[in-house]
Amino acid sequence: ALSVEYVIIGHSERRQFFGETNGSVNRKVKAAFNTDLKPIMCIGESLKIRESGKAEEFVMNQLKECLVGIDEEYIVDLTIAYEPIWA
């Protein structure tokens, strides 16, 4: 048996090439918690958004949408990886 504890969700390449959305990330985070996996949720903005001066607003919106309906008790087991696409 595998001893998998963590799962990466919302990586920028998944968002870019497979069309993952904040909504699908939200569903996957919930599914991870329901199967006793600890999600590593990736968030971050593009260079265009950063240069527009709206990076903080964009990332905060990502967080809100990705965490809709997730109970506070689960948040302690969630790792948030800031992964800006421009970096």
* Residues with catalytic function: 11, 83
Distances (CA, A) of 46 to 25, 30, 71: 17, 25, 29
In degrees, to the nearest 5, what angle opens at C-alpha 14 toward C-alphas 86 and 56?
A: 40
Residue whose pair of structure tokens reads 């918690």 in the numeric block: 33
